[in-house]
Every structure is written in structure tokens, then in C-alpha cells.
Amino acid sequence: MRSAGCGRAPHSAFLFRLLVPLPHSASRTRIPHPALTSRIPHLALAVALVSPITAQPPSRRDVRVCAGGDVTLGTNLDTSWVLAKARAGARPAALPDPWPLLAPLRPLVTGADVLLLNVEGAIGAGRAPRKCARGSTLCYAFRQPPEAAAALRRLGDSAHVVGNVANNHAHDAGDAGFAGTLARLDAAGVLVTGADTLATAVPIGEGDTVAVLGFSPWTFARVHDLAAVRRHVARAAERHARVIVTMHIGAEGATARRTRDVVERFAGENRGNSVAFARAAVRGGASLVIGHGPHVLRGIEWVGPSLVAHSLGNLVTYGPFNHSGYDDHGAILCATLSADGTVRDARLHSTRQRAPGLVEADPTHLGAREVAELTRLDFPRTGARVSPTGEVGPRP
């Protein structure tokens, strides 16, 4: 969602409170605050994150990963949009039950071992500091109701659900609201990525893990510092055979559908270079790079053996969002990561929304067809082959 000057990074003092340094060691690794470490499901994995790895995991199996774009299940910070839509003839609920909003997507992610979603907004209730200046026309504040965390977890069924908070709306309820969001996600059983530069370890079984890292222009792990991006990803790749990177990046809206190798700016902010970022992540060892932030779909390409989806668009964005034109459809990307990190059997599942943010699977495959067109335009040499029904493969 467009928001000028409101995608700020968290205060450095808050970050230092979240990160507690270990005693002196060569790695200088930091242990996150309990609100962050609670995302690690087992103590053994927590130890593995801060200890040198002397052996590879005892066994690895194929892992099915599904990922979607922006998810906002209502907002309790500003419901004035309801009046505007009521005048237009619609009478939506300001804060609906989050689960029915997500339920139509469950068949699209059946069989996933890992489900990655961009949590576009804080989660919680009660008073919060004002984010947007009075009269602002390009700033939005989102805080999803407390039930949103459990709904996100329920969507994954038997999968490990990972919520990315590296975006320009996770801090919309302030620093306390951000900490509350992490706590609610953890209590619901949702793993969190993007709160720091440490990889989130997703346990697959038999000591095997998949690592997930989240980056944005505003958070602690930023998209602008490509050397740091490569270093953070490489650190994760040393510990995990398969690394997934998610990036909240790029300009927004219908004019931001094309992906170019340039720094993009929007609302006066440096929104990063998606192409350069993806290549830095792949050089660091990422097998899969998932993009979101433009609110529209973008092309998909192979960078060596790694697959990069530059934007999966809007998935479920309930409330004051635009649900027309290029903004009303998105896609879920599902792919299999082999034991060595090779990507295969990838497919785009197209989705569509109607106001005020009701999503459904799209049998016309509009999203997949649009991604195929944008891929041909923007990545003539590296672009993936996308069939009219969404199968993703290498160029013939």
C-alpha cells in the first residue's frame, strides 16, 4: 500500500533491546530477544544457530514450498474507508473474521511443507501511536485483528507457516505493536522472518532445516546494502542446505509492473533494485527468491539454478486497497526444493480479489498469463517459461 515516509525502520534503541550480544566469540553472532527466539521451535535448533556446524544434517528430503504476496486481513487503526465504500453502494464489515478471507486459498497450498506469506501490517488491538499525519493522502496504517495470527497458521494446515515482517507496515502500531505482532504470531505457531538478519530455521525432520530470510528498505535487514545481503544469505547457506529469501521491494501500482535493473523510487523513498538484490541473494546461496511490495505481478526468472519471482502481487488485502485493474489479481508460487537446493516442479496458482478484499482461485489463470507476458518483456534471456495454466520451467 502506498505510504510516503511511513515505512520507517525501527528505532535503533529498540533494535538493541531486541538483540542481546553473546559473550565474545569469533562469529559475533547475536541472540534475539525472547519475542524473536520464540519462533525457533526446538532448543537444538537455537543452539545450531549460534554454534559452528561441524557436520551436514543426517538426511534431507524434497521440500514443497508455497509462497504468496501481501496479506492484510483488515485494519483496526483506521476504518474510515468503510464509509467511502458504503457511499459507493457496498457495505463491508470493517473487521471481518479473518479465516473466511483466507479459506478459499487452502486448496492452492495443499501438500506444502512450508508456506511463506508477507504479513502486511501489525497484528493486535487497543490504542496505538498515530503513524500518518492528519490530512495525509499517501500514508496508510494497518493493524490486523488479533485473530489474524491464528488464521494465518490455519491456512498452512500441516505446513510450517512463515510470516515475513520485513515490510513497511509491520511497525504501523509502533514499536510496542511490532513486539506484540511477533508475540501473537509465535503464540499461534507462525514462524517469523524479517525481524532481524538471522535466518529463520524451519524444521523439516531428521535434523533437516530450510532457512528463510526477509529483507525490505525499512527494516534491520535492508535491500539497499547488497554486500550485506550476500553476507547474510551466505551465513545462512553455511548452516542450511536450502535458503529462501523474501524481498519487499520496488515501486507500487499499475506503472510498476515492469522489472528493470535500476533503483526504484516511490513516494520519495528509495525502494531498492529488485534485479540487483536477487542476484546478490543468489550469489549468497539462495535457492528461491520471492518478491512482493509493488501490489502488482511481475516477471519470473532463473538466475543460474535459482528461481526468482520479482512480485507475486496482492494475495488477500482487505480494506482500503485498490481492487481493480492490475491490483485485483495475484498468484501463489509453489515449488519443490530438492535435497541440494535445486528448484523443480514450480507452478503459479492464479488468484483474484473483489472489493473489499475477497479472494478466490482464478480458473482463467489471468495471473499466470500476465506473469508470462511480463517475463518475455523483461527477461528475454533469463526468463522462466510460464505456461498459460501456470507451470513454470526453464527456457526450451
Q: What is the pTM of this model?
A: 0.86
Contacts 24+ apart (CB under 8 A), 222-229: 222/9, 223/247, 223/248, 223/249, 223/272, 223/273, 223/277, 224/270, 224/272, 226/276, 226/277, 226/280, 227/280, 228/197, 229/277, 229/280, 229/281, 229/284
Residue 3 confidence (pLDDT): 52
Give the Cα separation of 280 and 258 in Å (integer): 20
Q: Which CATH architecture fits 62-393?
A: 4-Layer Sandwich (3.60)
Output the pLDDT for position 206: 81
What per-residue confidence (pLDDT) applies to 40? Answer: 41
- Count, residues in the chain: 396
| Spatial contact of 307 and 324, defined as CB atoms under 8 Å apart | no
59-91 confidence digits (pLDDT tens): 689 999 999 999 999 999 988 889 877 777 778
pLDDT reported for residue 154: 98
pLDDT (tens digit per residue) in 188-221 = 999 999 999 999 999 998 889 999 999 999 988 8
Instruction: Please check whether residue 194 is in contact with residue 246, taking contact to mean a CB–CB distance below 8 angstroms.
Output: yes
CA pair distance 1, 3, nearest whole angstrom? 6
User: All 3 cell numbers of residue 395?
Assistant: 527456457
Task: Give the other-Cβ count within 10 Å of 206's Cβ.
Answer: 10
What gap in Å lies between CA 307 and CA 289, rounded to an integer? Answer: 6
Q: Which segments in the chain show pLDDT lower than 50?
A: 4-54, 57-58
CA distance 277 to 227: 10
Tell me the domain boundaries of the chain. 62-393
**Residue 296 and residue 299: Cα distance in Å, rounded?**
10
Rounded to whole angstroms, the Cα distance separating 210 from 204 reads: 7
- The pLDDT score that the predictor gives to residue 45 is 43
User: What's the rounded Cα separation, in Å, for the pair 59 and 205?
Assistant: 8
The Cα–Cα gap between 106 and 128 comes to: 32
